[in-house]
Amino acid sequence: MHHSIHDETHLSNRNHWLRAAVLGANDGLISTASLLVGVAAAGPSSQTLLLTGMAALTAGALSMAAGEYISVSSQADTEKADLDKERYELTHNAERELLELTKIYEARGLNHELARQVAVSLTEHSALETHARDEIGLTDLSQAKPIHASVASGLSFVAGAILPIIGIVLLPASTLVWSLAILTIMGLILLGIISARLGGAPVIRATTRIVTWGILAMMATALIGRLFGVAV
């Protein structure tokens, strides 16, 4: 079978939402589990634990979504400012911008004449798009998308936080503290595997990284609780 166009799916194209999703799920799982482990140690009723977990899930998801939206919106504003500046320069200093583009291609290994020809050709095709990509480093795939990042972050926080909440309902109350800790570690392992598969990273390295930092975060929470007189 003959294919005239060979389309490759590059894993880095997922960066704009994968980072937000992994961060959200990791934060949702660790923060909610750490909170519930600390509260469970005081021996409250399962209803109190469930309400605590749901409150943590709701507040955390909204906070993550809002924070991600604000952060990525700031990035989008910066990108827009760069494009506006470049648009102005192309209008008022076209020859200088052409020379700038030529030097970029020379730095990549082309001789001066070929670099100049490429710069002229691409400028005639789409000057702003060419400068945005090759001078500033912006493409359609890399441009900040606040809504996408916000939704991915909020929903993934919920996905991470729901695991320890389910644990409250299903796990025996007598061993809830340790059971939640073990369940959280299992969740971190699963998150590491999923993120590695989606991002094309080595599974063991990605999983070890997430589990190690997750355990350290829970240990830090337990230590702080102990310092303030709360048995975790």
Tens digits of per-residue pLDDT, 134-157?
Answer: 777 766 645 667 888 888 889 999
Does residue 5 carry a pLDDT above 80? Answer: no
Which position has the higher pLDDT, 79 or 56? 56
Q: State the average pLDDT over residues 76-90.
A: 83
Which position has the higher pLDDT, 86 or 183? 183
Does residue 84 carry a pLDDT above 60? Answer: yes
Instruction: Categorize the per-residue pLDDT at 159 as very low, low, confident or very high, splitting at 50, 70 and 90.
Output: very high
Picking from 3-12, 28-37, 65-74, 91-100, which range would have the lowest pLDDT averaged per residue?
3-12
* Percentage, residues of the chain above pLDDT 90: 16
Using H for helix, E for strand and C for coil, what is the string for the chain? CCCCCCCCCCHHHHHHHHHHHHHHHHHHHHHHHHHHHHHHCCCCCHHHHHHHHHHHHHHHHHHHHHHHHHHHHHHHHHHHHHHHHHHHHHHHCHHHHHHHHHHHHHHCCCCHHHHHHHHHHHHHHHHHHHHHHHHHCCCCCCCCCHHHHHHHHHHHHHHHHHHHHHHHHHCCHHHHHHHHHHHHHHHHHHHHHHHHHHHCCCHHHHHHHHHHHHHHHHHHHHHHHHHCCCCC
Of the ranges 47-61, 135-149, 202-216, the best mean pLDDT one:
47-61
Domain boundaries, the chain: 15-227
